[in-house]
Amino acid sequence: MQKNVADTLSYLLKNVSLQLKYLRIYVVIDMERIVFQKLIEWKDKKERKPLILNGARQVGKTWLLQELGDRCFAKVAYLVCRKNQVLKDIFSQDFNTERILRALRALSGIDITPGDTLIILDEVQDIPEAIESLKYFYEEAPEYHIAVAGSLLGISLHRDVSYPVGKVDEINVYPLNFEEFLLAKGEAEAYKLIKDKDYATTNLIHEKYVDLLRQYYYVGGMPEAVKMFVETDGLLAVREVQKAILKGYEKDFSKHAPKDQIARIRLVWQTMPSQLFKENKKFIYGSLKQGARAKDFEIAIQWLVDAGLVYKVPLCKECKLPLKVYEDTSAFKLFTLDIGLLGAMVGTEAKQVLIKNDIFTEYKGGMTEQFVLGEMKSNGEENIFYHKPDNGTRLEIDFIIQRDGKLLPIEVKAESNVRANSLSNFLKQNPDIHAIRYSMMPYVEQGQMTCLPLYAIQ
């Protein structure tokens, strides 16, 4: 009996040590995340469901949940599922929520009570039963606030988990966008001018915004990289952080991907910059290796998408509503999750980004499209396409989305040269459609087109 008690205490102490280890890993700079407002809205919802926080590794999911607990709850029961056999046993027995809650109280040392306690299950992908249990928390214990997150949660949710369809709320977390980068740097007034769409004033300080945008192109939005830049101004240190994150992703390929797909996943990931920086940014299987076919790499690409590391932008053959109906699943562009990581992948030097005048035109606009796509994703745009008609013409619209029940074509220009033949011709053919052009020119209205600077993406 004494031996069993001693073993249990030893395991619990080890588990506490593991919890503290994870707390240390995820401490980031005290930055304001715009997505945090969505977490507050979730907390206060009358018809609240258990929360799943989706996002790639190291985008700040754990920090957000802990910050929500610190700011908005009296108590936080934080539990890490990774390599936690005790927690796995708790969820593996059955889905009796009363029993599970008693066990979580004992394991966390927190008196979990409705309304004032946030339950956080981190790295939840390691315990599929915990994800499945969310259905029962919704049905049997909706008065409790429970939120889960995991680095490869998207992979788990598409594999062996009985997903609680309709029984959970979901919030997507992305790297910091440009507006959040401004806030992290203490540029609150510059941020406010953009949010208020005070273009008359932003035009007056256009060069300041361009300089800040250059910084963001280099640093990107991974919280640890932003933290390093804000605290030290160390550009080489930022690049080391980015390289470490990329190495972590490569390790994830080996640890978590299907063994027969690891080499293909790595090949897709490593060749993404060359695909994105060519004139025709459509993903070409033959660029991976000679004779490569779609069926050989479809699973690998989907794994990267599910992991949150890659964004897939499919072709829309016709500009008609709803866009999804006209999607061509065989043609698409691939983008990475973060512009700073993309720069690290290709070895962009700081002076290229921060000093050279032609940085926005290099790589055939691929870097700029990456930036625009990342901003749109962080702003909640989900169905993003590009358009190229199947009639042999060179007409191509960089992005096209559906907003307020209308089509919205988007042209992306990397510099101040804004001759947009494709978009101009498209608008002539469609006089009822309004478009947006993003470039390094200040704001101006031009008939059917709103011309916005890249730093003011809506």
Q: In a 10 Å sphere around its CB, with 0-12 CB exposed, 13-18 middle and 19+ buried, how is residue 434 labelled? A: middle
**Amino acid identity for residue 23 in this structure:** L
Rounded CA separation 338/425 (Å): 32
* DSSP percent split of the chain into helix, strand, coil, nearest 5: 50, 15, 35
The DSSP annotation for 39-89 comes to HHHHHH-TT---EEEE--TTSSHHHHHHHHHHHH-SEEEEEE-TT-HHHHH
Question: Residues 422, 424, 426, CA angle at the centre, nearest 5°?
Answer: 70
3-state SS class at 166:
coil
Could you tell me the two tokens for 377?
Answer: 């994703």
- Whole-number pLDDT of residue 410: 96
Q: Tell me which CATH code domain 2-172 carries.
A: 3.40.50.300
Domain boundaries, the chain: 2-172, 178-456
Rounded CA separation 241/249 (Å): 13
Cβ–Cβ < 8 Å for 360, 301: no
Tokens 């290229």 sit on residue: 352
CB neighbourhood size of 330 (10 A) = 8
Rounded CA separation 342/272 (Å): 9
Tens-digit pLDDT profile for the chain (458 aa)?
Answer: 444 444 544 544 444 444 433 333 333 445 789 999 999 999 999 999 999 999 999 999 999 999 999 999 999 999 999 999 999 999 999 999 999 999 999 999 999 999 999 999 999 989 999 999 999 999 999 999 999 998 877 766 656 567 787 999 999 999 999 999 999 999 999 999 999 999 999 999 999 999 999 999 999 999 999 999 999 999 999 999 999 999 999 999 998 899 999 999 999 999 999 998 887 888 999 888 888 899 999 999 999 999 999 999 999 999 899 999 999 989 999 999 999 999 999 998 887 777 765 655 555 688 999 999 999 999 999 899 999 887 767 788 999 999 999 999 999 998 766 665 788 888 998 999 999 999 989 999 999 999 999 999 98
Give the ranges where 95-187 is alpha helix by DSSP (H): 97-108, 128-140, 153-157, 178-184
The DSSP annotation for 397-432 comes to EEEEEEETTEEEEEEE-SSS----HHHHHHHHH-TT
Nearest to 145 by CA among 65, 89, 33: 65
Rounded CA separation 385/77 (Å): 41
